[in-house]
Amino acid sequence: MQKLGAKFFLLTSIFLITLMSDKMFSQENGAVAESAHTNQTAQEEKPFNAVEMIMHHISDANEWHLWTTTDDAGNEHHVSIPLPVILIQNGQLLTFMSSSVAHGHEHEGFTMTEGRIVSTDETATRANLADLFTGLGNKFIDLSITKNVAGILISIILILLIFIGTSRSYKKHNGMPKGIASFTEPIILFIRDEIAIPNIGHKKAAVFLPFLLTIFFFIWINNLLGLVPLFPGGANVTGNIAVTLVLALITLVVVNINGNKSYWGHVFKPPGVPVWLLPIMIPVEFLGLLTKPFALMMRLFANITAGHIMILSLVSLVFMFKSIAIAPASVALALFVSVLELLVAALQAYIFTVLTALFIGMAVHEEHH
């Protein structure tokens, strides 16, 4: 049973690599792809654009771009992992791999620019939330497994491997922390004893501990994976505002469905407030319910995004100055910020968990008179 995890991991890696190499070479040999390449490099040595490079790295994409090589003829070869594209347009479901639209290819009226799926029809844009209510027209809904979704799936596999390994290790060693459990146990105990119990209280902490542990490890592992520049990481999951929005929404729901009488009493009938002030106080208190998760969402997103931008702009200094003399300083600073980001990765996961525990504690707190 112990080997099952390792085997599964190995098989997944082999599958991904074969998928990648197969798609990669089939594209590179196409005549259309080559002509697209020559068009791209016609202007020869396009100037380095730091903002474009940084935005490319921190934003989501429909393919997982790995690297770009330039051959002797000056043609660019993009090596990327193709990801499934799932679109709904005019009530029709379209599915294809992103490799079929890469390098300027066209497939079922779609192509890809800068890693994002776009329609060849100019009027058909990506639908947003407002379009769902005002009518879609010929806009398309993008439900693709994008880079960030793939990143989340990879982190889920990683988290499952870690924690199934932990529970197996406890079973094997009769409850003694050995192997991977000796790594996870101190962290779990820290969250229980320093975060959950002081903020929520002894009685109810056990109910919310699984939720707190889940958000802590999900955010922490995704922060760390976002710092890895190579394939399994680098997806910048927690630097995507949609991901942090959903995390904050889960907190909002968990806090408010567990709110007891005194919690809602403080919102709709604040104690000690004169009646004429209530029309002002109730909306303010009600907004307060929403601003807390909003701040959670913004804090995580902004911290992680800012960290990535810092590292990338330090690295791009070398390319901006086109000088090797700047490299030692740039590399040293980038290393320093990267190490700082390792701290921030844990700190932001910790702060998100502490604040969630605090809000839950406020919602379930029993009034003592």
Partner 1 sequence: MESAGLIYVGIGLAVLGVGLGIGRIGGSAMEAIARQPEAAGKIQGAMLIAAGLIEGAGLIAIIFGAFVK
Nearest to 305 by CA among 255, 258, 241: 241
Give the nearer residue to partner 1 in terms of CB position, either 12 or 128: 128
Residue with tokens 């909002």: 252
Applying CB under 8 A, the span of 103-111, 224-232, 319-327, 346-354 interacting with partner 1 comes to: 346-354
Q: Does 351 bind partner 1 (CB under 8 A)?
A: yes
Q: Does 245 bind partner 1 (CB under 8 A)?
A: no
Query: What is the closest distance, in whole angstroms, from the C-beta atom of residue 240 to partner 1 in the complex?
Result: 13
Cα gap 164→108, rounded to integer Å: 43
Give the nearer residue to partner 1 in terms of CB position, either 195 or 318: 195
DSSP-based three-state secondary structure for 260: coil
Structure tokens at 154: 């990879």
Q: Within 194-213, which residues bind partner 1 (CB under 8 A)?
A: 194
**CA 136 → CA 93, 94, 109, 230, distances in Å?**
14, 16, 17, 38
Q: Does 348 bind partner 1 (CB under 8 A)?
A: yes
Q: Does 354 bind partner 1 (CB under 8 A)?
A: yes
Q: Indicate the length of the chain as a whole number.
A: 369
Give the nearer residue to partner 1 in terms of CB position, either 71 or 194: 194
Q: Does 340 bind partner 1 (CB under 8 A)?
A: no
Give the nearer residue to partner 1 in terms of CB position, either 169 or 303: 303
Give the nearer residue to partner 1 in terms of CB position, either 303 or 330: 303
CB 238 within 8 A of CB 226: yes
Query: What is the closest distance, in whole angstroms, from the C-beta atom of residue 312 to partner 1 in the complex?
Result: 15
Structure tokens at 7: 């085997």
Cα gap 221→226, rounded to integer Å: 8
Q: Does 242 bind partner 1 (CB under 8 A)?
A: no
Nearest to 55 by CA among 240, 223, 330: 240
Structure tokens at 13: 């890696």
Query: What is the closest distance, in whole angstroms, from the C-beta atom of residue 64 to partner 1 in the complex?
Result: 26
Full DSSP string of 118-131? EESSTT--B--HHH
Give the nearer residue to partner 1 in terms of CB position, either 80 or 303: 303
275 — phi, psi (to 5°)?
-60, -35
Query: What is the closest distance, in whole angstroms, from the C-beta atom of residue 50 to partner 1 in the complex?
Result: 15
Instruction: Select from 96, 163, 170, 350 the one that contacts partner 1 (CB under 8 A).
Output: 350
Cα gap 87→143, rounded to integer Å: 6
Interaction pattern, residues 275-314, with partner 1; x per rule: CB under 8 A: --------------------x--xx-xxx-xx--------
The footprint of partner 1 (CB under 8 A) covers 194, 295, 298-299, 301-303, 305-306, 347-348, 350-351, 354-355
